[in-house]
Amino acid sequence: MTGSNPTNATSAETGAGPVTQADVGGRIASRSVLWRWMLAGFAALIAAVLAGLALGPAGISPATIGSDLLGRLPWLGLGAPMSQLDSTVVWELRAPRVALGVLVGATLAVAGGSYQAVFRNPLADPYLLGVAAGAGLGATAAIAYVGVATAWLPLAAFGGAVVAVVAAYALGRSVSGGRSTTSLILAGVAVAAFLSAVQTFVLQQNSENVRPVYAWLLGRLSTSGWSDVTVIAPYVIGSLIVLLGHRKVLDVLRVGDDEATSLGVSVTRVRLVVVAVATLGTAAAVSVSGLIGFVGVVVPHVVRLMAGANYRLVLPLSLLFGASFLCMADVLARTVLSPAELPIGVVTACVGAPFLAVVLRRVRGGDT
């Protein structure tokens, strides 16, 4: 099985042993697994953040940045500040991108993992209920018809996303009263297909003045400084806290709606809360970053393949690895063709897909 470890195997083999020993062994084993993976996740995140600050077309050496960081610490009297230009590049251009990558990556991965849990569907992603289609149409229509400035694009995308998901949820609920996840998913598919079609129509009718939308549709973390980060941070961080708070309940949902109900979980309410919160976070994230695909599906799955299917572990690890993954993808996006930039969606798919394939082969291969 996934996440097998020597301690587990041993305690299973010594099955005839006394009650407490085997059980305590099992508990300690799963705790140490938890902490090992959390440490790995934090290490990956720190590495990704440092790489994001240090790497880029401007060629500022990590030592210079380290020295500048030291210089900012009070009382030590160490290090030396960077030049004005370098300082601007690192703290006003790169740092907001890194922060945005962390927030967006964490949100997409955690929202994806949560969607997979409440829909009990491994292919569920944060865009399942039409967030992407709604946001896309909102952004497109705002630029094409209202002619809003690019700065307002996130707000239009956010509004479109929320409208789409509310429509999908209402449609799904009206069919099954919230008891069936399938009708909810189908409602999402219907809403997304309809909105995508409308969006394609709008794009086709206004092909001259919708250029800014294309960049957004492909996904990008290029920001207008810290303002984008501060605008989405409250929504994104709030939704992350609520979703992580639900991680144990999501484990109960793994046994099915009826049994979760009989175990004391108000399934419909949990599903509504998780979907609403995950959607809000996702909508806030994509409104700024554009439609970055792949992170929401792949990161939780890679985590599951490596560390096991327990949501107590999957959600926090998705947060850490999703954040580091998007951060690293952005580093690649702005260095590979430097000084030109690749759309980050291209990078997440090009790097993520082979990575998933390798993990899949290694874990499944070693298992059977």
Residue numbers at the binding site for other proteins (CB under 8 A): 1-3, 8, 11-12, 14-17, 19-20, 22-23, 25-27, 29, 245, 248-249, 251-252, 254-256, 258-259, 261-267, 308-310
Closest CA to 319 of 111, 23, 28: 111
Q: Which two tokens stand for residue 319?
A: 């947060």
Q: Cα 144 to chain center, whole Å?
A: 29
In this complex, which beta carbon is closest to other proteins, that of residue 27 or of residue 211? Answer: 27
Q: Are 291 and 136 in contact (CB under 8 A)?
A: yes
- Residue with Cβ nearer other proteins (67 or 176): 176
Distance CA 94, CA 92 (A): 6
Measured from the CB atom, the residue of 89 and 314 that comes closer to other proteins is: 314
Tell me which residue of 341, 335, 313, 350 sits closest to 41, measured CA to CA.
Answer: 313
Q: How far is the CB of 11 from other proteins (least distance, A)?
A: 5
Task: Give me the least distance between CB of 171 and other proteins, in Å please.
Answer: 21
Cβ 7 to other proteins shortest distance, Å: 8
Query: Tokens 């630029």 sit at which residue?
Result: 143
Name the minimum Å distance from CB 274 to other proteins.
14
Q: Of the two residues 21 and 83, which places its CB atom closer to other proteins in the complex?
A: 21
CA atoms within 13 A on the CB side of 144: 21
CA distances to 122, 173, 307, 366 from 1, rounded to whole Å, are 17, 36, 10, 9
We find the least distance from the C-beta atom of residue 174 to other proteins, in angstroms, to be 17
**Residue 26 or 71 with smaller CB distance to other proteins:** 26
Alpha-carbon dihedral 308, 311, 317, 319, rounded to 10 degrees? 150
Return the number of the residue (15 or 339) whose C-beta is nearest other proteins.
15
In angstroms, what is the minimal distance from the CB of 365 to other proteins?
Answer: 17
Q: Output the six-digit token pair for 124.
A: 């569920």
**How wide is the angle at C-alpha 190 spanned by C-alphas 349 and 163, nearest 5°?**
85
In whole angstroms, how close is the CB of 313 to other proteins at the nearest point? Answer: 11
Cβ nearer to other proteins, comparing 13 with 208: 13
Whether a cis peptide bond, with omega within 30° of 0, leads into 339 is yes
CB 117 within 8 A of CB 311: yes
